[in-house]
Amino acid sequence: MPLMVKDIDTIMEQYAPSKLKESYDTVGLMVGDMKSEVTSILVALDCTLDVIEEAKLNSCNMIFTHHPLLFKKPNSITTDTLIGRKIIELVKNDINVYSSHTNLDSTLGGMNDIIMQILDFKYIRIMEHSSNEDSFGSNSGIGRMAKISKPITLDELCNKVKEKLGLKYLRYSGQDKKLIKNIAVINGSGQDYFNLAKKLGADCIITGDTTYHYVSDFNEQGIAVIDAGHFGTEWPSICVVSNYLKNRLGSMGFKNNVILSKVNRDPYKYK
């Protein structure tokens, strides 16, 4: 029996149920047909035009992404807009796009938990529990709090984050010699959870996409911030999710290729 798009949906509903998504989010099949037969799957963080070309070159008629292509619904689909060009190119080439976003962040064993494992942290609590906890008990939600048994300095923690996430650079605030014991980790863009992190006793927050005034205010309050980038805090987890999907399909007897994107890169450059 051939692999169908609906089979991928079933796998992801078991791993990261769509009911775990945040209210503002859009997840699941973005473009395509649930009854379509899948050739090969390209896994990426974002569905960029380069990723679409990569899918075509690798004969992949399915792209699996973390960030939803239709996060904001377009008013029209024309070549005058970037989203329009993407959708038209996907439809013309019969390429399906499926996205698991905040549901994949929240779920047990999802993006939040993977980044904690990569950083060698054991979480002591979920920062904000999912509003639909009936899916996976009390094990789902956004953000993780970790407590280090032996405090380390902020400088040491920055070096650890760079090493574990494979980063050349990161941004941070706080005193280099400040001892860190309680850490809040929110992959991607976690600035909306800064006040919650403070309430939960965080000495340091690790996330991406921070802005000046937020960081300045928390610096004044003695809470360190490590901004490892949106891409930097999510790409390592997407690599793990890609392997999960490959192994899951293999265990089900499917031989379809699951390819990790080689062109999906951090849009930021550093000198």
0.85 exceeded by the pTM? yes
| Helical residues (DSSP H) of the chain, grouped into ranges | 5-15, 49-57, 82-92, 102-106, 111-118, 154-165, 194-199, 212-220, 235-251
- Stretch 116-131: mean pLDDT, rounded? 92
Residue 38 is given by DSSP the state: P
Task: Give the Cα separation of 209 and 71 in Å (integer).
Answer: 17
* β 141-153/123-129 pair status: antiparallel
Query: Is 70 exceeded by the pLDDT of residue 137?
Result: no
Confidence at residue 249, expressed as pLDDT on a 0 to 100 scale: 98
Query: Is 90 exceeded by the pLDDT of residue 136?
Result: no
Task: Give the Cα separation of 9 and 3 in Å (integer).
Answer: 11
* β 141-153/204-208 pair status: unpaired
Annotated binding site for a divalent metal cation: 66-67, 105, 230, 234
Task: Give the Cα separation of 14 and 83 in Å (integer).
Answer: 29
CB neighbour class for 229 (10 Å; exposed up to 12, middle 13-18, buried from 19): buried
Confidence at residue 206, expressed as pLDDT on a 0 to 100 scale: 98
Name beta bridge partners: 206. 185, 226
Annotated binding site: 66-67, 105, 230, 234
Task: Give the Cα separation of 37 and 73 in Å (integer).
Answer: 26
Task: Give the Cα separation of 166 and 211 in Å (integer).
Answer: 23
Query: 136-174 in b/e burial notation, b at 16+ Cβ within 10 A?
Result: beebbbbbbbbebeeebebeebbeebbebbebeebebbb
Query: Is 80 exceeded by the pLDDT of residue 56?
Result: yes
Task: Give the Cα separation of 33 and 26 in Å (integer).
Answer: 17
Tokens at residue 190, please?
A: 């976690």
Task: Give the Cα separation of 123 and 121 in Å (integer).
Answer: 6
Give the domains, in start order, of the chain with CATH numbers: 5-104+235-260 (3.40.1390.30), 108-227 (3.40.1390.30)
pLDDT in tens, 193-224: 999 999 999 999 999 999 999 999 999 999 99
